[in-house]
Chain A
Amino acid sequence: MAFVLRALAGGADGVFIGGCWLGECHYVTEGNYDALSMRHLTRKVLELIGINPGRLRLEWISGSEGMRYAEVMNDFGRQLKGFGPIGVGEGLDKETLKLKFQAVSKILPYLKLVERERLRVRFKTEEEYDNFYDSEEVNSLIRELVGEKLAISQITTLLEQNPLSTREISDSLHIKPAEVSRYLNSSARQGLVRYDEEMKRYAVA
């Protein structure tokens, strides 16, 4: 995930991951199943920070499927052109984009733990992975475990620059004001942020 984020943060409009078909991995560890799981999680994370998850694509293409590779890449290229340059397509300015990627990268070790504790599954087919990650159970889990952490990470990253009001935070991060205040309350409880009475603004603790 770090590599994908690094590329997107560096200005890439999309990231493509190619792998051997499930069951055909050359390593007995069969890491392509893990890659599939990570693809799902990474796309969810991208969605949470307002990046088009379609910018990350994973396809199974064996060494002998040159034609398929060409087709897939051409298709992905067309798709990305449709999305527009990263950030522009999402309506995010450069600074916000950078901030959002910074915020995700801060919680990467935490995401690895979530993945390990709650999302470490091994199915046989791609469909089962799709169903698992589409399930309400996983979606609410991600909202609760990742969504909040990510939002707080974005807020604290933003506040590191200078103290801001709820409204200002909401505007720069494209998060609803009500949610912002909820996250601010919980981060204040955790001692991550404090309300600066003088400035009438929130600041990092």
Chain B
Amino acid sequence: MENIIAQKNLVDVLVVGGGISGIQASLDLANSGFKVYLIDKSPAIGGKMSQLDKTFPSNDCSMCIESPKFNECSRHPNITILTYTEVDTVKGKPGNFKVSLIRKPRYVIESKCTGCNICAEYCPVKVSDQYNQNLSTNKAVHIYFSQALPLIPYIDPEACLYLKDGSCAICEGVCKPGAIDLHQEEEIVDLEVGAIVLSPGFDTFNPKLRNDFGYGIFENVVTSLDYERILCSTGPYEGTIRRPSDKVHPHSIAWIQCVGSRQVIPGGNSYCSAVCCAYTQKQVILTKDHDAGMQATIFHNDIRAFGKDFERFYQRAENLPDVRFIRSYVSIGSEDPETRNVSIRYSTLDDGVKEEQFDMVVLSVGLEPPAGFQQIADTFGIELNSHGFCKVNPLNPIETTRPGVFIIGAFQGPLDIPESVAGAGGADALCSNILSYRRGDLSQERVYPPEKDVSEEEIRIGVVTCLCGANIGRVVDTPSVADYAGTLPNVVYSQENLFACSTENAQLIADAIVEHNLNRVVLAACTPRTHEPLFRDTCREAGLNQYFFEFANIREHCSWVHSKDKEGATEKAKDIIRMSVARAAHLEPLQEFQLPMTKIALVVGGGVGGMTSALNMAEVGYETYLLEKASDLGGNARRLHYTLDGVDVQPYLNDLVRKVYRHPRIHVSLDATILDVSGYVGNFVTRVQSEGRIKEILHGVAILATGADEHKPTEYLYGESDRVSTLLELEEKIINGDEAVTGAESMVMIQCVGCRQKDRNYCSRVCCSQSIKNALKLKEINPQIDITIIFRDMRTYGLKEDYYREAADNNIKFIRYEPDGKPVVETATLESGKPGLKITVPDPVLGKMLELEAEQVALAAAVIPSASSQEMAKHFKVAMSPDGFFQEAHVKLRPVDFAADGIFLCGLAHYPKHLSETISQAYGAAGRAINLLTGDSVTASGAVCEVNENDCVSCGACITACTYGAIEFHDTPKGKKATVNPILCKGDGLCNAKCPTQAIRLMHYTDEEIFSQIDASNPDADIDSCRNCPGLGRRQE
């Protein structure tokens, strides 16, 4: 800590709040050449995401995908992390803020602490464990959670006996390094900062204040965040589902939705919290995974499955056996004094009011602004909205009201993880905009020790068996596994490790490599999908080529799936490790490629998304080509005129278009068609035909923002009656003052036209709010108009809920329909004698057919993928989701990246979204692109194919197999031979399987490596005889 103070406290960006958005923003900013301070008021970074068990809709383990980022932050030379730290004052202006931080005393000297946890073992005082939602206890001195960064305990001053009355100082005595300092005082750190990114996150609604549904009175009523901890293997019950009162497995659980949300009564929040429907479905799915016989009941209002893949996720939960989704408001009856079960009263249309007992009740609590939000606003000099969230500019949701202070994450309003992460990229883009003049001045390069040459060494394999807390250790007998690993050929070192991925323990592995002179490392732990980059890096830090690292997954493959068969899981872990050790012996050091970066961007699609990202990249200083297939810029926004939050869209759009046309670094091509795309990250070549000319664009990155279309309905008399229009057509008619619409006495709107059905199994996200927007507009023009909205679930998520209420208050009527009881639209003569339409729909409340009259009908038609997206997917070789939208690299943590390097996405082409959301995502994509553009080179994997020309018979089998175009013939003195361009090669292993002479090897997955692994799968195999099989092995060398 002392050296932190000693440094000149000049910082490019201060990130306030170390949840996932703050972490990602720090990484993005640091990678694009800025020096970052990341601070958090908690004793560790991680935020709310670190408390979640899994994340929807992919059910990835939350900590497992977040903790590698802790590590990345802590290892980054341009990031300084200060935890237990708050901002005291902020003065100055963009480029030169003077910020004063308060470091709260944790009574532990960070530089001396080794994280051994002895202090906590000896501490006599038990406190309830905040990280576990007070469901378990911890000590007055403890590490916040097992994978915490920093892995340093803190002392709770409220509970510590010494700090209360000086009566105990055991920890001081037992701490060998002398790291305990019970006299530590708070410390002021002054910084000079260029820009500030606020990411203070959210708090969950606290039902204890009003004892909602008996919370705080009945022990078996828990919040959804409590339940996340209960589900989690690092939670209070080590991942077995128990209820708090008697720690017994519950057999029936009820979830109650919208707790604290969508309420106008005092103490509630009027908005929708946007994430609870999906997280509840996730909890139901996970609960059923834990216990297939569990009776799960969800009492809900509208199901708001508005996000990408949420509709399918909802169906998945709904279709599980013994899962009931019941649309009903509920009240808690009582707690059975003997069983401690909780009874719930609810009512259904079929059965009327019922009362039912449940073993346990989970309250799906909503999101709120973080505690002390008013103080945050005062400290940073920013304004808040009426709910206490940060006030944002709808046309740039990352801006606060104070220039140079940006906002990302759930303090913008209720958001889920991908939106928070995309926002982080956006913060990078906007900080780049104001700080690009000083980029790189304060930053440092990561320096690795020189790589040692091990080619002449005997093989020395180190095996580390990770317990993953209790995740692996609880099931797999890790001591016996580690002992066994020590007996395997070539293994010279075998150790257990509690959490190999924690920063400190990863360092231990690096130390072991040096100390025991290891030249291969096998880690028996979790999955390479999330953790391989981290441990490859660990090898590099110890001077070992990163391709000498081998992962054996004994968590997913052993402890998780065979949790009920401990012996079997242990045996399987040994088998897997034996195979990995066999493979490790054959691993070869590989070099990655440094590819030069062409510092030019290409943006495909001239709608708001494409223009916003193009303009941002140009303003930051990069030449940008913008392609638009139509004859003018604007895209779908041309058809939008007003938004719910009061934006007049056309002036904004015209201004944006003007800025884009005028920017000297943006080169716009209209009527553009892409003829072909070749190359790879850093070096793409795109041939474009535009206005009769063909040009070739060299570019380093690409952003695909090809938008979407409005579905042309095939039902409800659309196209047959001019009284039936889609929402966009309606908006056009309203703005043009079409008398038939603005003067109509009655209007019916029908939701979910063309989606949430078999062939388009997704929700178009925007239509509910768009209908409400137009309904309110019509009411404003003509207060007498009678409007009915026929809907399935009103999905006015987040702060848009207020407008739904406003519509209801304005006498706009809402009728719900089921997909098997769709409304029917017919032409008719209205009661008034005028011609019009008759709409018949079954009314679920009244249980009979309802007939409505309307002069006009508006259809909320689905948002469908545009044809150009399909075309671009082919040109750029990027993936599409089953619904035809672009598929991001990782739904949670890489929401604007494609899996293919150097290509990014934003806007409607990714999934339907509102204008603000497109803008936010466009900045996110620009930020990610800038991240690459700032570097002089990019790195490509070494796991690529290689041709042995002597064996190549020029048959061309490999060339036809490779649609990446990575293989070509080239002339040699011995004739044409295949050659692989390692930069284009994705290492998918197709060509080498086709090669009849085994002339192609896929590096890192060579036949020797795989064969040795296969052979080792059978402990008793007669391996030598297999090796002698000619042809079965690789050609004998």
Do residues B1023 and A64 form an inter-chain contact, with CB atoms below 8 A? no
Nearest Cβ on chain B to A88's Cβ, whole angstroms:
15
Taking a contact as CB atoms closer than 8 A, the residue among B879, B964, B994 that contacts A26 in the complex is: B879
Quick check: is A52 within 8 A (CB to CB) of the other chain? no
Interface residues of B in 13-67 (CB under 8 A from A): 58-59
The DSSP consensus for interface residues of chain A is: helix
Do residues A27 and B1032 form an inter-chain contact, with CB atoms below 8 A? no
Do residues B962 and A29 form an inter-chain contact, with CB atoms below 8 A? yes
Taking a contact as CB atoms closer than 8 A, the residue among A6, A29, A107, A113 that contacts B964 in the complex is: A29
Interface residues of A in 1-28 (CB under 8 A from B): 2-3, 5-7, 9-12, 24, 26-28
Interface residues of A in 107-145 (CB under 8 A from B): 107-110, 112-113, 116
Which residues does chain A contribute within 8 Å of B1020, judged by CB atoms?
Answer: 11
Which residues does chain A contribute within 8 Å of B962, judged by CB atoms?
Answer: 29
Chain A residue nearest to B991 (CB atoms) is A29
Which residues does chain B contribute within 8 Å of A102, judged by CB atoms?
Answer: 1029-1030, 1032
Which residues does chain B contribute within 8 Å of A165, judged by CB atoms?
Answer: none
Q: How far is the CA of A28 from the CA of B963 in the complex (A)?
A: 7
Q: How far is the CA of A11 from the CA of B1026 in the complex (A)?
A: 10
Q: How far is the CA of A141 from the CA of B990 in the complex (A)?
A: 24
24 A-B pairs with C-beta separation under 8 A: A5-B1032, A6-B1014, A6-B1032, A7-B1014, A9-B1026, A9-B1032, A10-B1015, A12-B1014, A12-B1017, A29-B986, A29-B990, A31-B988, A38-B993, A67-B289, A101-B1029, A105-B1029, A105-B1031, A107-B1031, A109-B996, A109-B997, A110-B996, A112-B995, A112-B996, A113-B996
Which residues does chain B contribute within 8 Å of A107, judged by CB atoms?
Answer: 1031
Q: How far is the CA of A102 from the CA of B1032 in the complex (A)?
A: 7
Which residues does chain A contribute within 8 Å of B1032, judged by CB atoms?
Answer: 2, 5-6, 9, 101-102, 105, 108
Quick check: is B779 within 8 A (CB to CB) of the other chain? no
Quick check: is B716 within 8 A (CB to CB) of the other chain? no
**With contacts A3-B1014, A70-B561 known, what are 20 further pairs, Cβ within 8 A?**
A6-B1011, A6-B1014, A6-B1032, A7-B1017, A9-B1032, A10-B1026, A12-B1018, A24-B882, A26-B879, A29-B962, A29-B986, A29-B990, A34-B961, A34-B993, A102-B1032, A107-B1031, A109-B996, A112-B996, A113-B996, A116-B996
Quick check: is A201 within 8 A (CB to CB) of the other chain? no
Do residues B990 and A2 form an inter-chain contact, with CB atoms below 8 A? no
Interface residues of B in 877-914 (CB under 8 A from A): 877, 879, 882, 899
Nearest Cβ on chain A to B604's Cβ, whole angstroms:
18
Do residues B994 and A10 form an inter-chain contact, with CB atoms below 8 A? no
Q: How far is the CA of A11 from the CA of B591 in the complex (A)?
A: 36
| With contact pairs A98-B1025, A105-B1029 given, residues A27 and B996 touching in the complex (Cβ less than 8 Å) | no
Which residues does chain A contribute within 8 Å of B879, judged by CB atoms?
Answer: 26
Chain A residue nearest to B995 (CB atoms) is A112
Q: How far is the CA of A98 from the CA of B877 in the complex (A)?
A: 44
| With contact pairs A3-B1010, A28-B877, A105-B1032 given, residues A10 and B1023 touching in the complex (Cβ less than 8 Å) | yes
Taking a contact as CB atoms closer than 8 A, the residue among B561, B990, B1026 that contacts A6 in the complex is: B1026
| With contact pairs A9-B1032, A11-B1018 given, residues A27 and B986 touching in the complex (Cβ less than 8 Å) | yes
Q: How far is the CA of A32 from the CA of B961 in the complex (A)?
A: 12
Which residues does chain A contribute within 8 Å of B59, judged by CB atoms?
Answer: 64
Do residues B989 and A31 form an inter-chain contact, with CB atoms below 8 A? yes
Which residues does chain A contribute within 8 Å of B1023, judged by CB atoms?
Answer: 10
Chain B residue nearest to A102 (CB atoms) is B1029
Which residues does chain B contribute within 8 Å of A116, judged by CB atoms?
Answer: 955, 957, 994, 996
Q: How far is the CA of A11 from the CA of B963 in the complex (A)?
A: 36
Quick check: is A106 within 8 A (CB to CB) of the other chain? yes
Nearest Cβ on chain B to A80's Cβ, whole angstroms:
14
Q: How far is the CA of A28 from the CA of B876 in the complex (A)?
A: 10
Interface residues of A in 39-92 (CB under 8 A from B): 63-64, 66-67, 70
Nearest Cβ on chain A to B62's Cβ, whole angstroms:
16
| With contact pairs A9-B1026, A9-B1032 given, residues A29 and B1014 touching in the complex (Cβ less than 8 Å) | no
Q: How far is the CA of A203 from the CA of B899 in the complex (A)?
A: 57
Chain B residue nearest to A24 (CB atoms) is B882
Q: How far is the CA of A168 from the CA of B1011 in the complex (A)?
A: 33
How many residues of chain A have a CB within 8 Å of chain B? 35
Which residues does chain B contribute within 8 Å of A24, judged by CB atoms?
Answer: 882
Which residues does chain A contribute within 8 Å of B899, judged by CB atoms?
Answer: 26
Q: How far is the CA of A63 from the CA of B60 in the complex (A)?
A: 10
Which residues does chain A contribute within 8 Å of B248, judged by CB atoms?
Answer: none
Chain A residue nearest to B59 (CB atoms) is A64
Which residues does chain B contribute within 8 Å of A109, judged by CB atoms?
Answer: 996-998, 1031
Q: Which 9 residue pairs spanning A and B have beta carbons closest together?
A: A105-B1032, A105-B1031, A112-B996, A10-B1021, A27-B988, A109-B996, A28-B877, A11-B1018, A31-B990
Which residues does chain A contribute within 8 Å of B1014, judged by CB atoms?
Answer: 3, 6-7, 10, 12
Do residues B990 and A34 form an inter-chain contact, with CB atoms below 8 A? yes
Instruction: Annotate B87-110 by CB proximity to A: 1 below 8 A, 0 otherwise.
Output: 000000000000000000000000
Which residues does chain A contribute within 8 Å of B1029, judged by CB atoms?
Answer: 9, 101-102, 105
Q: How far is the CA of A173 from the CA of B957 in the complex (A)?
A: 34
Q: How far is the CA of A109 from the CA of B955 in the complex (A)?
A: 12
Do residues B957 and A112 form an inter-chain contact, with CB atoms below 8 A? yes
Do residues A2 and B1007 form an inter-chain contact, with CB atoms below 8 A? yes
Do residues A6 and B996 form an inter-chain contact, with CB atoms below 8 A? no
Instruction: Annotate B937-962 by CB proximity to A: 1 below 8 A, 0 otherwise.
Output: 00000000000000000010100011
Nearest Cβ on chain A to B998's Cβ, whole angstroms:
8
Nearest Cβ on chain B to A25's Cβ, whole angstroms:
9
Do residues B1031 and A108 form an inter-chain contact, with CB atoms below 8 A? yes
Quick check: is B1022 within 8 A (CB to CB) of the other chain? yes
Q: How far is the CA of A140 from the CA of B561 in the complex (A)?
A: 44
Q: How far is the CA of A110 from the CA of B1022 in the complex (A)?
A: 26
Nearest Cβ on chain A to B159's Cβ, whole angstroms:
41
Q: How far is the CA of A26 from the CA of B877 in the complex (A)?
A: 10
Q: How far is the CA of A110 from the CA of B1031 in the complex (A)?
A: 11
Q: How far is the CA of A5 from the CA of B390 in the complex (A)?
A: 62
Which residues does chain A contribute within 8 Å of B955, judged by CB atoms?
Answer: 116
Which residues does chain B contribute within 8 Å of A113, judged by CB atoms?
Answer: 996
Nearest Cβ on chain B to A42's Cβ, whole angstroms:
12
Which residues does chain B contribute within 8 Å of A106, judged by CB atoms?
Answer: 1030-1031
Nearest Cβ on chain A to B801's Cβ, whole angstroms:
30
Nearest Cβ on chain A to B800's Cβ, whole angstroms:
29
Nearest Cβ on chain B to A31's Cβ, whole angstroms:
5
Interface residues of B in 426-484 (CB under 8 A from A): none
Which residues does chain A contribute within 8 Å of B1011, judged by CB atoms?
Answer: 3, 6
Chain A residue nearest to B874 (CB atoms) is A28
Q: How far is the CA of A67 from the CA of B319 in the complex (A)?
A: 14
Which residues does chain A contribute within 8 Å of B1031, judged by CB atoms?
Answer: 105-109
Chain B residue nearest to A38 (CB atoms) is B993
Do residues B961 and A29 form an inter-chain contact, with CB atoms below 8 A? yes
Which residues does chain A contribute within 8 Å of B1010, judged by CB atoms?
Answer: 3
Q: How far is the CA of A2 from the CA of B996 in the complex (A)?
A: 12
